Structure 1
Amino acid sequence: MGRPNNEDSKYTPAQGWQNHEDAAHDDEAPPVYELEAPTVTMPPPGNTGATNDGRIHIDIDSHLTKSLIKLVPKASKQPHDPSRRFTTSGRLNVRLNIVIQVVGSRGDVQPFIALGQELQKHGHRVRLATHDVFESFVLESGLEFYPIGGDPKELMAYMVKNPGLIPSMKSLREGDIQKKRTMIGELLSGCWKSCVEGDAKTGRPFVADAIIANPPSFAHVHCAQALGVPLHLMFTMPWSCTRAFPHPLANFKVGEIDPAVINYVSYGVVEWMTWQGLGDLINKWRYTLDLEPVPNTMGPVLAEALKVPFTYCWSPALVPKPLDWAEHIDVCGFFFRDPPSYTPPPIIDKFIQAGPPPVYIGFGSIVIEDPAKMTSLILEAVRMCGGARAIVSRGWSNLGEGMPDENGDILFIGDCPHEWLFQNVAAVVHHGGAGTAACGLRNGCPTVVVPFFGDQPFWGEMIAAAGAGPHPIPHKSLTASNLAEAISYCLTPEATSAAQNIASQMASEDGVKAAVQSFHANLPLERLQCDILPDQPASWLYKHASIRLSKQAAQILIESAIIDARDISLHETHPISITNQRWDPITSTTSAGVSWVSNLATSSTGIIIDPIAELNRSKGHGSESSSSGAATAGRMALASAKNIGRFNMHVFKGSCVDIPFAAAEGFRAVPRLYGEEVKDHGEVKDWSSGFGVAGKNFAHGIVDGVSDLWKRPYEDGKAEGAAGVAKGVGKGLLGFGSKVASAGIGLVAYPGQGICKSIRHAAKSGTRKRIKVKRLEEGQWLVDQKRNSMDPRVVLERFERLRQEGLAQGNRSIKSGISSQS
């Protein structure tokens, strides 16, 4: 982030740039820190691209930045309400199936193990879905495990070569991008399976009632939408738009535009560039789940637009929650698991006892390109410190390969719990992963961060700002000399005192418990509970009386022949709808038109290309018989026919539904441009709601449009005099035109959109059917497990009482309607 030309100014997350004197009087101001590396080479004006340290340069003159700046909401003078965990009880009596989806290294997985263990204490069933290599790590912690695929070593190696979001030319030449996309596709599929598939070893059924995920898992919101369950994101790195500080992967220089605005925009730029690389892959996968594609304008802002609850697992003593983060965003503290039972090998114990506390050096899951060179550098740096001793973790890069474990004042070790080890060292040198940084600070260890990618520079700067270590040294800039200087600083009394001060503040925090409270506080309790067994989540809705049923309750009723499986439908405890936000009729119709032309082009070229692909596929199999030739011809004809059907469908839907719908929404949104709040007429979900929205939009559009002609000049004139009258006339004319246009077009557009959604819902039912089967399987398993411990008559009696109450309520509603009509 850029620094203004003022030597006395510093940047704080809570207040932006301020001078030293102001900061000294602010007891709640967090440590100052700087995010911009001083050696960054800026790209030419007009570009938004990668700097030489892998972060994203934001050029304030680029078209993307200017467009996003227009969408930044005005700063509120009042802070948002406090996080929901402070305004709700946080108590939850419902026992959920929770899947935690984590993509990353061991350091990314470990905090969620601590979270899962705490969730289990509240009675939840917890499954941690992550890479296959962490299976034993998860199972030994007492959690259920589901493999989602993906090789974290390969992912770490890619991130070291491409620390930002834009790949290097070397990665392009070596085909790393396609490898990463293939891995992401595997992870998306694995994350979905983790929500609905049973345990691979025990066969125990599992269907998720809620999802917790870190953002890089990418599948989270889409899985939650398909299941209709709550989602909660948790991360160690800022990922929500704020004016307080920029995205850790963003870099810019302060200019004429308010730095706080650019801070806010930086998150949109990073998300936009991520979606540009993966959006097509995600939408292709969504198709397999019978979900509609996410519009390109919505993909980068999904979590923000849907107000997905977000918990950040870092200490508020280091980075307090920004004032512009809403109540569904929380900062809870670092996640620490219960220290594992550990007895060190004799060689480690003997080394620690043989002299003064050593320095720990290790890069964990980072895959270093030249481990031998890094090993030599570390050995030289330790020797330059004069009298210092070091424990070096070999890690995934296998530092010190071929060397004996003990080499004078240096000991090479394998895996060793940081919780134990960091209690016995004088300082730590590592890559700056949030988990490792947190463990070092918790134990009062001064810290040197050698960042490689991601949030590692962010944590390095935070530690330096607190005085508990030097400024981070990017791994490409690391030398024996500057590493020796950094270690020497960490061994000073000043650094030790600063680190111990942080440790004392962290001792009063319990991030895991706070995060569970935050998770509970953001659940939709009013839709979550089963009406018959209130300690279980509702999975079904009894169609004839709107009774919410858990998997177990429904299965008992089915087995007792009280209801049939056809009498229940899937209940969504947290429905998610992704709608394209429209800002004006020009951009909305243009966007819809471009999408329409693209769909037509794809389906028309498919008429020719797909049959050729079928022919080439048959040649590849070496088929030469007449029967196989006829089968190939049939597949070619079918492929062509499918694309002809798609072409005709796109012609009709685009011209008669999509473009009119975009125009109606664009005209409806126009008053927002001059500060008027646009009325919400509800969401178009099916044909019925489509006609309902059309009616409301027409009535309000005509009435409000006509009234604007006199209402706007009167109100603005009253406030601003003659100038206000003129301004009001303009607003009135614009409002009249836009609202009446939306009302007229909407009479066709909204019902058409609703009819299309109803048809699609009926045609795309495969995923819903699979979910229904999986929930019935788990219901059967639950009943079998509790057959001897639960009397089914409790369920039958409660259901009959609720059904009678529902029928009576329905009869009263009918009589009331007849009475009102007469």
Structure 2
Amino acid sequence: MDEVGDFNTPPGRRDSLPSYESIMSIEYSPDDTANNNTPCSSDSHRPMVSLPEVSSTNNGRIDVRVGSRCSQNLELLMSHQVPENYQTNETPTNGVPTWDIKLNIVIQVVGSRGDVQPFIALGNELQKFGHRVRLATHAIFEDFVTKAGLEFYSIGGDPVELMSYMVRNPGLIPSMKVLRAGEIQQKRTTLANILDGCWRSCIEPDSHSHVPFVADAIIANPPSFAHIHCAQALDIPVHLMFTMPWTSTRAFPHPLANLKYSGKDHSLGNLISYHFVEWITWQGLGDLVNKWRRTVLGLPQIPATEGPNLAETLNVPFTYCWSPALIPKPGDWGPNVDVSGFFFRDPPFYEPPSELREFLHAGASPVYIGFGSIVLEDPEKMLSIILDAVRRANVRAIISYGWANVKGPKLSHVHYLGDCPHEWLFQHVVAVVHHGGAGTTACGLRNGKPTAIIPFFGDQPFWGNMVAAVGAGPKPIPHKDLTGQKLAGAITYCLTDKVMSAARGIARNIKQECGVRAAVNSFHSHLPQHTMRCDLIPSQPAVWEMKRGKRTIQLSNLAACCLKNQGYLHEKNLKRHKTKSIFIDIRRWDPVTAISSASLSTVTEMADATVGIFRDPYREFKRHREKQNIATSDMASNKTGASAGGEYSGYGKDMALASVISFGKFLGRTSRGALVDLPLAAVEGMRAVPRLYGENVRDNHKATDWKSGMRVAGSAFVHGLHEGVTDIFVYTYHGKREQGTIGVAKGLTKGLVSLTLKTGAATMGLVAYSNQGIYHSLRTAMKQGLTEKVEQARWAEAEYIMRMEGNLPAYVQEVCGAFDALMVARDT
């Protein structure tokens, strides 16, 4: 058993929860430590550094090493910030409002079948509330989704290629070999297509039935990346759901980060590991996302300082679909984060083939071995290891083909199996061995089966560690280190009484939960119900609004159509209702760094526009020459003798136009920098300074157009001037009362700083906020194309509802009556 490693992981009591440390600190095996591929490898030979070191591993994770000097600086910086602790709840079931508004919900999922399956269960549960649910994912899963009764929309991308790429190159930081092969650019192209597909899934009709669809809310897993941006473009709510921790916490490090923290406060190291993973991800994808936002959605670019942690900054609701019996919600996760429990679909009907039924009855219960969606580099080698392990462990086995199509010689103690629902199969096996996908892990634990995990990349080591921490299986064995003897040892360990007992205890806890129902409750509880309800038909979502005096009336598609057809209003009286607007602000800390950052951003974009004045005409020239060469080649092959150059000879106009457009960008960026960005950075930087000495800073309203810009400027001026003048007396008084003479000096100093900064911010804010509002109004006018496209999709949906609604006269009478009542109430 030396080669196998130590499988004697304490099983833990059935009714107790594992500690965070036990879940996140489990080692892989002695071999991993020797190879420095795990968080357990020694760091004594590394020099202490002042900045964190980040490097990739061969299992899809990153090493984050924070030296003593850097950790001391971090702890000094954070010493005055007390971490918030919230009242945690195991399942989001308390205080959930009754929900009766029927929404169009798009669920965007990027990943394997195991990533898609939990959201099918979620979609079916949402349908019970009358919601129309569209699951947007890869085309390969269309039958899987539609057979479950959900609408499907393809977002592009091939998960088979994705899995193959991840197995060959699991690290977040690509190797030189991968860069030379051009795979990174291919994956970036795939992601660009997925971003476009996610946006289309929000507004385009069904590709088969052509029934119109516009999303009222978005649910997504984080790797889909488009979620927040689509929600911002449509002004609708977004809710993220995932199978592993993605929200920063002091309780444990990011599952993809092997943390090496040299400071005293290890919880701070856990916290920053999330920021490093997000930062690395944004470095690779930020330019793609920003280009897509600018060209497709008509939204401004997200600065590098805000992109990595956008979901947390915006307090986007997050639901984690794992059992709180395994990992309870950390105390520093706020009320916008819930832990619901695993998502399980209703078991599908399955009639086993006769060969499988005969194998199951031919002897002792077999062990299941399969790697699902993983595309193996060497399937023959893996099959050889599996068969050797089965022989060593002296067990019967069911080996799943999976996407790698693992299939070997016919043996009496081995049965090879294709597609089969795990919900049914895992009831008939004694233990399970798999790659550690979240759905497969959950299904095995729910059925009380001891689980051995062979992780390949990503969150799979996290699930392996989780299973080992609760004693339901051995420590995970990375697939690159797998041997027949190690796998045999893992299987043998799974069959011990203590592991089987621990697995049954976990199953009892999980069966008391209903994760998918809790997740739907969480989703509903975070929706802005008051802004989503139609004023005339309360069970329908508001998608339009109209002004009547000082009152804004929220209308559903059906209500708007009824009023329009009865002559109560015209389309021009309506504008698109914004259920939940998303504003992405740049956080400022002080005026010096704020102005420096804004200046650098302005100069960079001005330089890029300047280069474009000369570069873009050259690109236009090359494009025309390529077309001309192709046309010439076609003419020659057809032997027509016609001139191919005439059509493309006049490309000087296009070259000049490209240069003029770039020059216009230069002028626009210069004007925006001088009139909006720099003044606003200075104002926000001055306003942020009091935070450095513990004062709460009043939040301004958002300047979304020229009118709100004027209001914000006036309000900020009045409050800033008042606080700046009065603070010198308030600080001095409180300082004298608390610290006497020394307090007077401190208070006087704070008061003078406040007088200078707050009155300065108030005065400059008159220009900055007004210009910001004007800029947003101009930008809104320039992106009318997107607004018109969304409104056209809404009207198409409204007309379809009118055609399909069976009891239309009753609705017309109800809507018109309710509208008249509202008008009477307004007049009185």
How many angstroms does 1:725 deviate by?
3.1
1:339 matched to 2:319: no
- Higher RCO (Cα < 8 Å, 6 or more apart): 2
Aligned counterpart, 1:816? none
Aligned counterpart, 2:303? 295
Q: AA paired with 1:708?
A: D
Counterpart CA distance in 1 for 2:541 and 2:660 is 45
Partner SS state of residue 341, structure 1: coil
Counterpart CA distance in 2 for 1:436 and 1:788 is 46
Q: 1:86 to 1:440 in 2, by over 3 A?
A: closer
Partner SS state of residue 233, structure 1: strand
Aligned counterpart, 1:725? 744
Aligned counterpart, 1:466? 470
Q: 1:362 to 1:682 in 2, by over 3 A?
A: same
Aligned counterpart, 2:604? 598
Counterpart CA distance in 1 for 2:79 and 2:784 is 39
Counterpart CA distance in 2 for 1:83 and 1:563 is 49
Q: 1:761 aligns with which of 758, 774, 780?
A: 780
Aligned counterpart, 2:817? 797
Aligned counterpart, 1:409? 413
Q: State how 1:811-822 maps to structure 2 within 5 Å.
A: none
Q: AA paired with 1:518?
A: S
TM-score of the pair, normalised by structure 1: 0.92
Q: AA paired with 2:22?
A: V
1:329 matched to 2:337: yes
Partner SS state of residue 114, structure 1: helix
Aligned counterpart, 1:496? 500
Q: 1:353 aligns with which of 357, 361, 373?
A: 361
Bigger Cα displacement from structure 2, 250-259 vs 590-599: 250-259
Q: State how 1:636-651 maps to structure 2 within 5 Å.
A: 636-651=655-670
Partner SS state of residue 371, structure 2: coil
How many angstroms does 1:726 deviate by?
3.3
Aligned counterpart, 1:552? 558
Aligned counterpart, 2:537? 533
1:447 matched to 2:451: yes
Counterpart CA distance in 1 for 2:211 and 2:90 is 36
Q: 2:442 aligns with which of 434, 438, 444?
A: 438
User: Residue 26 of structure 2 contacts residue 469 of structure 2 at CA under 8 Å; is this kept in 1?
Assistant: no
Bigger Cα displacement from structure 2, 48-57 vs 167-176: 48-57
Aligned counterpart, 1:175? 182
Name stretches of at least 5 consecutive residues in structure 2 with no aligned partner: 1-8, 28-32, 632-642
Aligned counterpart, 1:3? none
Counterpart CA distance in 2 for 1:192 and 1:537 is 20
Aligned counterpart, 1:157? 164
Q: 2:722 aligns with which of 676, 686, 703?
A: 703
Aligned counterpart, 2:376? 368
1:189 matched to 2:208: no
1:425 matched to 2:433: no
Counterpart CA distance in 2 for 1:64 and 1:626 is 63
How many angstroms does 1:25 deviate by?
12
Aligned counterpart, 2:6? none
Q: AA paired with 2:818?
A: R
TM-score of the pair, normalised by structure 2: 0.91
Counterpart CA distance in 1 for 2:280 and 2:70 is 10
User: Residue 160 of structure 1 contacts residue 452 of structure 1 at CA under 8 Å; is this kept in 2?
Assistant: yes
Counterpart CA distance in 2 for 1:485 and 1:353 is 26
How many angstroms does 1:92 deviate by?
0.4
How many angstroms does 1:87 deviate by?
4.5
User: Residue 11 of structure 1 contacts residue 34 of structure 1 at CA under 8 Å; is this kept in 2?
Assistant: no
Aligned counterpart, 2:101? 94
1:382 matched to 2:421: no
How many angstroms does 1:61 deviate by?
4.1
Q: 1:702 to 1:60 in 2, by over 3 A?
A: same
1:524 matched to 2:532: no
How many angstroms does 1:699 deviate by?
2.1
1:656 matched to 2:675: yes
User: Residue 157 of structure 1 contacts residue 368 of structure 1 at CA under 8 Å; is this kept in 2?
Assistant: yes
Aligned counterpart, 1:747? 766
Counterpart CA distance in 1 for 2:85 and 2:227 is 32
Q: AA paired with 2:768?
A: A
What is the root-mean-square deviation in Å for CA atoms of aligned residues? Answer: 2.4
Counterpart CA distance in 2 for 1:328 and 1:27 is 23
Q: 1:81 to 1:508 in 2, by over 3 A?
A: closer
1:612 matched to 2:618: yes
Counterpart CA distance in 2 for 1:240 and 1:67 is 23
Q: AA paired with 2:814?
A: V
Deviations along 1:749-805, whole A, 9 cap, x unmatched? Answer: 111111111111111111111010000000000010014455212112212222343
Counterpart CA distance in 1 for 2:282 and 2:557 is 36
Q: AA paired with 2:774?
A: I
Q: 1:68 to 1:410 in 2, by over 3 A?
A: farther
1:116 matched to 2:123: yes
Counterpart CA distance in 1 for 2:464 and 2:573 is 58
Counterpart CA distance in 2 for 1:718 and 1:411 is 82
Bigger Cα displacement from structure 2, 67-76 vs 576-585: 67-76
How many angstroms does 1:265 deviate by?
1.3
User: Residue 72 of structure 1 contacts residue 261 of structure 1 at CA under 8 Å; is this kept in 2?
Assistant: no
Count of aligned pairs between the two proteins: 786
Deviations along 1:387-427, whole A, 9 cap, x unmatched? Answer: 21111111111112xx34x3231111111110111111111
User: Residue 24 of structure 2 contacts residue 253 of structure 2 at CA under 8 Å; is this kept in 1?
Assistant: no
Bigger Cα displacement from structure 2, 31-40 vs 768-777: 31-40
Q: 1:578 aligns with which of 556, 561, 584?
A: 584
Aligned counterpart, 1:479? 483
Q: 1:625 to 1:26 in 2, by over 3 A?
A: closer
Counterpart CA distance in 2 for 1:28 and 1:431 is 22
Deviations along 1:261-310, whole A, 9 cap, x unmatched? Answer: 11111111111111111111001111111111112111112111111111
Counterpart CA distance in 2 for 1:77 and 1:656 is 38
User: Residue 58 of structure 1 contacts residue 65 of structure 1 at CA under 8 Å; is this kept in 2?
Assistant: no
Q: 1:73 to 1:114 in 2, by over 3 A?
A: farther
Counterpart CA distance in 2 for 1:742 and 1:664 is 5
Counterpart CA distance in 2 for 1:659 and 1:626 is 49
Bigger Cα displacement from structure 2, 155-164 vs 408-417: 155-164
Q: AA paired with 2:320?
A: Y
Counterpart CA distance in 1 for 2:650 and 2:117 is 53
How many angstroms does 1:709 deviate by?
2.3
Partner SS state of residue 658, structure 1: helix
User: Residue 113 of structure 1 contacts residue 138 of structure 1 at CA under 8 Å; is this kept in 2?
Assistant: yes
Counterpart CA distance in 2 for 1:214 and 1:62 is 36
User: Residue 83 of structure 1 contacts residue 327 of structure 1 at CA under 8 Å; is this kept in 2?
Assistant: no
1:215 matched to 2:205: no
Deviations along 1:367-401, whole A, 9 cap, x unmatched? Answer: 1111111111111111111x21111111111112x
User: Residue 358 of structure 1 contacts residue 391 of structure 1 at CA under 8 Å; is this kept in 2?
Assistant: yes
Counterpart CA distance in 1 for 2:64 and 2:269 is 8
Name stretches of at least 5 consecutive residues in structure 1 with no aligned partner: 1-9, 13-19, 810-822
Counterpart CA distance in 2 for 1:614 and 1:178 is 23
Q: AA paired with 1:650?
A: R
Partner SS state of residue 668, structure 2: helix
Counterpart CA distance in 2 for 1:81 and 1:803 is 45
Deviations along 1:304-329, whole A, 9 cap, x unmatched? Answer: 11111111000000000111111111
User: Residue 100 of structure 1 contacts residue 212 of structure 1 at CA under 8 Å; is this kept in 2?
Assistant: yes
Identity across the alignment (%): 51
User: Residue 448 of structure 2 contacts residue 507 of structure 2 at CA under 8 Å; is this kept in 1?
Assistant: yes
Partner SS state of residue 463, structure 2: helix
Aligned counterpart, 1:283? 290
Q: 1:90 to 1:77 in 2, by over 3 A?
A: same
How many angstroms does 1:218 deviate by?
0.4
